[in-house]
Structure 1
Amino acid sequence: MERELEEMEAQSTRNTEVASLFAKANRPVVLKFEDVVYKVKLSKSGFCGKTIKTEEKTILKGMTGMILPGEMLAILGPSGSAKTTLLNALGGKLGGNLGGKISYNGKPFSNIMKRNTGFVTQDDVLYPNLTVTETLVFTALLRLPNNFTKQDKIMHAEAIISELELTKCKNTIIGGPIKRGVSGGERKRVSIGQEMLMNPSLLFLDEPSSGLDSSIAQRIVSTLWHLAKGGRTIVMTIHQPSSRLFYMFDKVMLLCEGSPLYFGEGSQVMDYFSRIGYAPTVIMNPADFLLDLANGISPNSDSESQSATLKQAIVSAYNDNIGTKLKEQIHELSDHSHDGGSDRKDARWATTWWQQFTVLFKRGVKERRHESFAGLKIIQILAAAVISGLLWWKSDAANLQDKTGLLFFAAGLWGFFPLLQAIFTFPQERKMLEKERSSGTYRLSSYFMSRMVSDLPMELVLPTGFLIITYWMAGLKTTPANFFHTLAVLLFSVLVSNGLGLALGAVVMDQKSATTLGSVIMLSFLLAGGYFVQHVPPFISWIKYISISSYTYTLLLGAQYSATDTYPCGDSGQVCLVWDYPPIKHMGLEGQVVAAVALGIMLVGYRLIAYLALMRIGVTKK
C-alpha cells in the first residue's frame, strides 16, 4: 500500500512538472528586424524557352520592427502584400537575396534558436491515418531530448492535448480529403500542438485562422494569447480578423505590396491613421479599415484612380512618423531577456539515430498499413494470381513456350506493380519531410532507412501470395527447392523495381511526370527483356544490360531449369535438352551469377540515388 502511494505521489509530481512547462517560456526571445529587404530574379523566356530578359523584383521593402517576450504580433495586409514572405524571413526559412538585419536576443538565427522556434504553416501537414494522440506522441518521442524519459514525453503530449482542448477527439484520426477525421479547427490545434511540444520561446504561425469559422478562430487566437503571456514571442500572419480577434494583438504590422504602412500597438492604430488624416466615416472593424487603406481605398473617397497616390502617401507618412523613431527604439532597447543559454552548445540532435529509426518505423507502419493492405489492392493481386493460374492451369511439361511465358509474365508484373507503387512515396511525403527536416526533427538517414524497412513486409507479402497461388495452379516444379528459389528471385526483383520507383519519385518529385517516365522505362525493359524480341538491333541492344526484366527472367529460368533437364520434343518419345530450347538458349542458363550481381548493384544503386536526391529537399543546414 505504501509503495502504491509513493508511486501515485511520484506520478502526481511528474504531472505537475510536465504541466509547468507550459507556464513559461524556457528562453524568452527579443526579436528585432531592421531594414529587411528581399529580392528575387524573374526570368522572361522567349522562343524555345531561351531566356531573353532577367529582372529583379523587390518583395520586401525595408521592414523594421521588434517584438518582446509576452507580445503577440499580427502581420496584416491584402493578398500579395508579402506577409508570408516576411514571416518566413523572420522564421529563418528564407534564403537567397535577403538583406537587412534580423536578430534574436541580439544574435543571428542559429541551430540552437531553431530548437526554440516553432513554425506552423498555413496548410496543416499531418498524417491522415494517425490519431491525434498518435500524432502528438510520435512528435514528442522524436523532438523532445533524452533528458525526458519515454513516459515523460508521452505525458508531455497528453498535457498538450489537454491544454489545447483536444481531449474529445484524441482518439480520432486526422483524416484527409477522402477519409473523414477531425474538424479544421482541431487539425489546426494539432499543428500548433506539435510545435508547442518543444515549449518554443518563439512561435510563428501562417494564417492560423484561415478557413475556420469565427468561434473556432477566436478559440485558437485566445489559446495563443495565453501562450504569449507565458513569456513567449508570437508572430502570425492573418488576413481579415474579426474585431474581437484584432484587439487581442499586442502589436500590429500592416503591409502593402511589400512596404510597411504601420507598426505599433494594435490599440493605437486607429488613432494613428486619424492623426494623419485617414479616419473611418462609420464605426467599423479596425482590420477592415486597415485592409481598405492597404488596398488604396480612402475612407473619404470612392475613387480608385487615386489608389497608388494614397498608398504612396501612407508609406511616406510611415517613414516620417514611425520608421525613424522605431529604429531609434530598436537601437536603445537592450536584449535584457537574453539569459545566456544560447551560448552553450546543445547536442546536434534531440535523440539518437536508433531512437529516430525506431519511432519512424513504428509511425510508418501505423500510417501505411491501411493503404498497403487496402482491400482493392489485395483483390487486384488475388484476381491476377487466380486468372494466371487458370490460364496456365497444369501446363504440360513439354510446352516450354507456355512455362517460359508465365515466368516472363511474373517478371513483368512484379516489375511494373512495385515500381508504380513506389513512385508515389516521396512526392506524397515531400511536405512532411520538408516540415520535419527543416525543424531538425531527425536525420535524413534514419528517415530513409525506417522508410525502407517499414515497407518491406508490405512490399513482400503480396508477391508471395501471388506466387503461392499461381505456382501450384500452373504446375511448375513442385520441389521445395525450386519453389523457394523462384520466390527468392521474385522478391529480389520486387525490391529492385521498388528501388527504381523510389529513385524516380525522389528525382522528379512530380507524381504524373514520374509515373509517365517510370512506365516508359519499364516498358523498354520488358521489350528488351529477351522474350518478345530475341534479335535486337545493335544500336538499341544496350537496354538489356540495364533491364530489370531481363535479369529477373534469367534468374527465374535458372530457378526452374538446369543444364541437364530434358523435355519431350518429338512424337516418337524423343527428348531434348532444355538448354537447347531456342528462347532459353538465347537467354542462357549460365548467366545466373551475373544477373544476380547486376540486380544487387541496382538494388543498392537506385536507393542511393533516391537518398542523394532527398538531400536537397527542405533541409536547413545544421
Structure 2
Amino acid sequence: MGTEILVDMEAQITQQSPPAPIFNKPNCPVTLKFEDILYKIKIEHGGLFLKKKSKSQEKLILKGITGIVLPGEMLAMLGPSGSGKTTLLTALGGRLGGGGRLTGAITYNDKPFSTAMKRNTGFVTQDDILYPHLTVTETLVYTALLRLPKTLTKEQKAQHAEAVLTQLGLSRCRDSIIGGGLLRGISGGERKRVSIGQEMLINPSLLFLDEPTSGLDSTTAQRIVSTLWELANGGRTIVMTIHQPSSRLFYMFHKVLLLSEGSVLYFGKGSNALNYFSSVGFAPSVAMNPADFLLDLANGISTDDSEEDQTTIKQTLVCAYKDNLLESVKLEVGSGHNNQLHESIDDDKQLKRWSNTWWQQFHVLFRRGIKERKHESFSGLKIAQVLVIAILCGLLWWQSDINHIQDQVGLLFFYNGFWGFYPLFNAIFTFPQERVMLAKERSSGMYRLSSYFMALTLGDLPMELVLPTVFFTICYWMAGLKHTPGAFFSGLFVLLYSVLCTQGLGLAIGAVVMDMKSATTLGSVIMLAFLLACGFYVQHVPGFISWIKYVSVIQYSYKLSLLSQYKAGETYACGDMNCVVEDSPLIKAVGGLDGLGISVIAMAVMLVGYRLIAYIALMRIGVTKSTKLK
C-alpha cells in the first residue's frame, strides 16, 4: 500500500522539471549564544546494596564555556574523548537529558529554546539511525510526510524530499536500500548524507551534527564537510563535533572550539589557532596537521622537549585562554547580531505542537511499519519453521479421534504452548530494537506516541496472524480434530485470540525491560510458569501457588480450545465402557467444560492490559524535554 503511493508520487515528480535547490536560504537566520555553561552530574558511591552514607559527589563535565556562532558560520568542536564535546552539543541543541544540572545561558536570537526554535533546528546523531529495508527515496519521503506541515500536500512533501535528495548528491542511489549489519546497502558516506537530508527537509536555520565524519575515509569526509560548508554559506548556523579532521577539513571551519576535560583551550577562527598557540609558547616543531597539534595540546602533550607534565600543560593553556581570549569572546557574545525569528513562527502560543494530525501520522507510520517489518515477519526461515512443525504435528497426531482423548488434549495443549512462546519472543524484541529510532524521531517532534503505538499494533496484526492461521489449518485437518465448521473456526479464533494476548505480554516485557537478553530471560520464566500451572502437567497444584493459573494466558486459551472441541455429554471409549468427556481427569484439571465467559473476559483484560502497560512504559523514553538552565 505504501509502495504504490510512493511510486505515484515519484511519477508525478519525474514528469515535472528537475527540482531546483529550494533550500539555498533558511527560513530565518539564527545567532546561537552560550555563556558560562556549566554542567554537573552526581556520582553515587558504593554498589546496589552497599551505599556510602556520605553525600554523593558532583562531577563537573562542562566548566564555564562561552561562545557565539553567527548565521553563515560553521563551528567545529574539537577535543579528545571525554572532553565534553557531545555533552555541550546536546545542551546547545536542547536535548540534554539525564539527572545533571545545567547552568548558564543558551539563547537563540537572544531568546530561550522554544517550540518555534525546535521547528527550525536539525540534529544529526553520530550513529545513522535509519530503517535498513527502506530505500533512500522512501526514507526521505516518509520523513517529509511526518515532519513537514499539513498545509503541504503529499505531492509537495515528496517534491521537498526530491529536492533534498538532489541537493545532497543522492540521485544515483535513490532506489537502493539503506542496509545495515548483514544487509548490503548504500555506503557509509551516502548513509550519512541521508541522515543529514532528513534534517534538511525542515529547512533548518540551526543544524547540529555529532561526529558527521566518524568512520568515513578522508575523501568521503571531505564531501560531507564540503556539503555542510555550502549549507552554512546559505545562511545557516552549523555546529558540529569532530574528532580528528584532516588539514583540508580544518581550514573549512569558520570557528573552532577546543575542549579539554570540560575546559576551553581555544575559541575563535580556525585560521588563527596556530598563531594564538605560538603566541602563548606552544608552537609545532614540525609542519603538521593543525587539528593533530590542537588535539595533542588538549591531551597535555607539547611538541617541544619540555619536561612539564600533562596536567601542568592543560592548566597553563586554560589560564592562557582566560587571560588572552575570554574577554574578547565575551565582548563578541555581547555585541552579537540579534536576528529575529520570523513573525509567523515566533509566537509559541500560535504554534500547534504537532505538524500533522493524529490520523496523518498514523497513516504514514502504518505504511512505513508494514514495509519495514514484513521482511522480518515473513522471512523464509520463520515460514519454514512454522510449516515444518505444523506438518510434524499433523503426522504425529494423524487422524486421531475422540476415543484417543488424551492424545487430542495433548495436541491442544501443545499448540497453545507453542503459540504462547512464538509470538511472545517475536514481540519482546520489538521495542528494544525500535528504542533508538523512537527516541530520535520523538525528540524531533515527528509524531505522537499514541499514533506510533497504534500504527505498530495494528500494522503487526496481519503479519502476526497469518502464520498461526496457516499452522492451525494444516494441523487441524491432518490431526483429525472435529470435522465441523463451528469447531474449526472457534478453535482458530481461540488460537488467534491467544496469539494477540501473548504478543501483548511480549510487548509489555520488552517495553518495561528494554534489554533483549534480560527481557528474553524474564519472558521465558513467565511463560514456563504459565505452562506448568495450567493443569496439564500437574493436576493437583498446591493452593498456595495455584493463583498463577488465574493470570496465565495459556490456562484460558487451553480451556477455550477444549470447549471448541468437546461438549458436555459427549462420550469416549475408556476401557470396556464409555465415559463422558467432562469426567476425564484432563478436563477436570482445568475446571471442566464451563467458564466460557470468564475465560473470554479474562483474555480480553490481558489483551488490553498488557498493551496499556507497554504504552505507559514507552512514555518514559523518546521525548527529550527542552534543556532547562538553572
What is residue 4 of structure 1 aligned with on the other side? none
* Structure 2 residue corresponding to 1:400, chosen from 391, 395, 405: 405
In the alignment, is residue 92 of structure 1 matched against residue 97 of structure 2?
A: no
Q: How many angstroms apart in 1 are the aligned matches of 2:290 and 2:328?
A: 24
Q: How does 1:378-393 map to 2 (within 5 A)?
A: 378-393=383-398
In the alignment, is residue 458 of structure 1 matched against residue 463 of structure 2?
A: yes
Q: Is the 8 A contact 2:512 2:617 kept in 1?
A: yes
Q: Are residues 280 and 206 of structure 1, via their aligned partners in 2, closer, same or farther at CA, if it must alter by over 3 Å?
A: same
Q: How many angstroms apart in 2 are the aligned matches of 1:46 and 1:65?
A: 39
In the alignment, is residue 521 of structure 1 matched against residue 523 of structure 2?
A: no
What is residue 30 of structure 1 aligned with on the other side? 31
What is residue 43 of structure 1 aligned with on the other side? 44
Q: How many angstroms apart in 2 are the aligned matches of 1:151 and 1:536?
A: 63
Q: Is the 8 A contact 1:27 1:341 kept in 2?
A: no
Offset, 1:567? 1.6
Give the match's secondary structure for 2:402: coil
In the alignment, is residue 510 of structure 1 matched against residue 515 of structure 2?
A: yes
Give the match's secondary structure for 2:535: coil
Q: Are residues 340 and 396 of structure 1, via their aligned partners in 2, closer, same or farther at CA, if it must alter by over 3 Å?
A: closer
Q: How many angstroms apart in 1 are the aligned matches of 2:387 and 2:175?
A: 33
Q: How many angstroms apart in 2 are the aligned matches of 1:474 and 1:396?
A: 8
Letter aligned with residue 91 of structure 1? G
Offset, 1:397? 2.0
Q: Deviations over 1:387-420 (max 9, x none)?
A: 1111111113211111111001011001011001
In the alignment, is residue 326 of structure 1 matched against residue 329 of structure 2?
A: yes
Q: Deviations over 1:372-395 (max 9, x none)?
A: 000011111111101111111111
What is residue 585 of structure 1 aligned with on the other side? 588
What is residue 129 of structure 1 aligned with on the other side? 133
Q: How does 1:291-306 map to 2 (within 5 A)?
A: 291-301=295-305, 303=307, 305-306=308-309
Q: Is the 8 A contact 1:36 1:100 kept in 2?
A: yes
Offset, 1:14? 8.3
In the alignment, is residue 599 of structure 1 matched against residue 600 of structure 2?
A: no
Q: Is the 8 A contact 2:431 2:514 kept in 1?
A: yes
Q: Are residues 474 and 51 of structure 1, via their aligned partners in 2, closer, same or farther at CA, if it must alter by over 3 Å?
A: farther
What is residue 3 of structure 2 aligned with on the other side? none
Letter aligned with residue 105 of structure 2? K
Letter aligned with residue 36 of structure 2? D
Query: Greater shift after overlay, 48-57 or 288-297?
Result: 48-57
What is residue 106 of structure 1 aligned with on the other side? 110
Q: Is the 8 A contact 1:25 1:231 kept in 2?
A: yes
Offset, 1:270? 1.2
Q: Are residues 442 and 473 of structure 1, via their aligned partners in 2, closer, same or farther at CA, if it must alter by over 3 Å?
A: same
* Structure 1 residue corresponding to 2:59, chosen from 57, 60, 76: 57
In the alignment, is residue 167 of structure 1 matched against residue 171 of structure 2?
A: yes
* Structure 2 residue corresponding to 1:115, chosen from 115, 119, 133: 119
Q: How many angstroms apart in 2 are the aligned matches of 1:334 and 1:167?
A: 37
Offset, 1:280? 1.2
Give the match's secondary structure for 2:77: strand
In the alignment, is residue 289 of structure 1 matched against residue 293 of structure 2?
A: yes
Q: Are residues 24 and 12 of structure 1, via their aligned partners in 2, closer, same or farther at CA, if it must alter by over 3 Å?
A: farther
Offset, 1:12? 10
Query: Greater shift after overlay, 489-498 or 290-299?
Result: 290-299
Offset, 1:283? 1.5
Q: How many angstroms apart in 1 are the aligned matches of 2:217 and 2:53?
A: 47
Q: Is the 8 A contact 2:530 2:553 kept in 1?
A: yes
Q: How many angstroms apart in 2 are the aligned matches of 1:340 and 1:286?
A: 43
Q: How many angstroms apart in 1 are the aligned matches of 2:321 and 2:468?
A: 68
Offset, 1:370? 1.0
Q: Are residues 11 and 516 of structure 1, via their aligned partners in 2, closer, same or farther at CA, if it must alter by over 3 Å?
A: closer
What is residue 69 of structure 1 aligned with on the other side? 71
Q: Deviations over 1:517-543 (max 9, x none)?
A: 000000000000111111111111110
Letter aligned with residue 585 of structure 2? P
* Structure 2 residue corresponding to 1:272, chosen from 263, 272, 276: 276
Q: How does 1:406-555 map to 2 (within 5 A)?
A: 406-555=411-560
Q: How many angstroms apart in 1 are the aligned matches of 2:324 and 2:414?
A: 77
Q: How many angstroms apart in 2 are the aligned matches of 1:12 and 1:186?
A: 22
What is residue 560 of structure 1 aligned with on the other side? 565
Give the match's secondary structure for 1:398: helix
What is residue 343 of structure 1 aligned with on the other side? 346
Letter aligned with residue 218 of structure 1? Q
Unaligned 5+ residue runs, structure 1? 1-9
Give the match's secondary structure for 2:209: strand
Offset, 1:568? 2.3
* Structure 2 residue corresponding to 1:157, chosen from 161, 169, 174: 161
Q: Deviations over 1:236-292 (max 9, x none)?
A: 000111111011100000000100001111111111111111111211111111111
Q: How many angstroms apart in 2 are the aligned matches of 1:447 and 1:52?
A: 44
Q: Are residues 594 and 278 of structure 1, via their aligned partners in 2, closer, same or farther at CA, if it must alter by over 3 Å?
A: same
Give the match's secondary structure for 2:593: coil
Offset, 1:318? 0.6
Give the match's secondary structure for 1:44: coil
Letter aligned with residue 330 of structure 1? V
Offset, 1:575? 2.5
Q: How many angstroms apart in 2 are the aligned matches of 1:450 and 1:374?
A: 21
Q: How many angstroms apart in 2 are the aligned matches of 1:157 and 1:252?
A: 32
Letter aligned with residue 184 of structure 1? G
Higher relative contact order (CA closer than 8 Å, sequence separation 6+): 2
Offset, 1:569? 2.7
Give the match's secondary structure for 1:590: coil
Give the match's secondary structure for 1:208: coil
Q: How many angstroms apart in 2 are the aligned matches of 1:242 and 1:424?
A: 40
Q: How many angstroms apart in 1 are the aligned matches of 2:193 and 2:47?
A: 47
Q: Is the 8 A contact 1:19 1:156 kept in 2?
A: no
Give the match's secondary structure for 1:453: helix
Offset, 1:40? 0.5
Give the percent of matched residue pairs that are identical in Structure 1 and Structure 2. 65
Aligned residues: 609
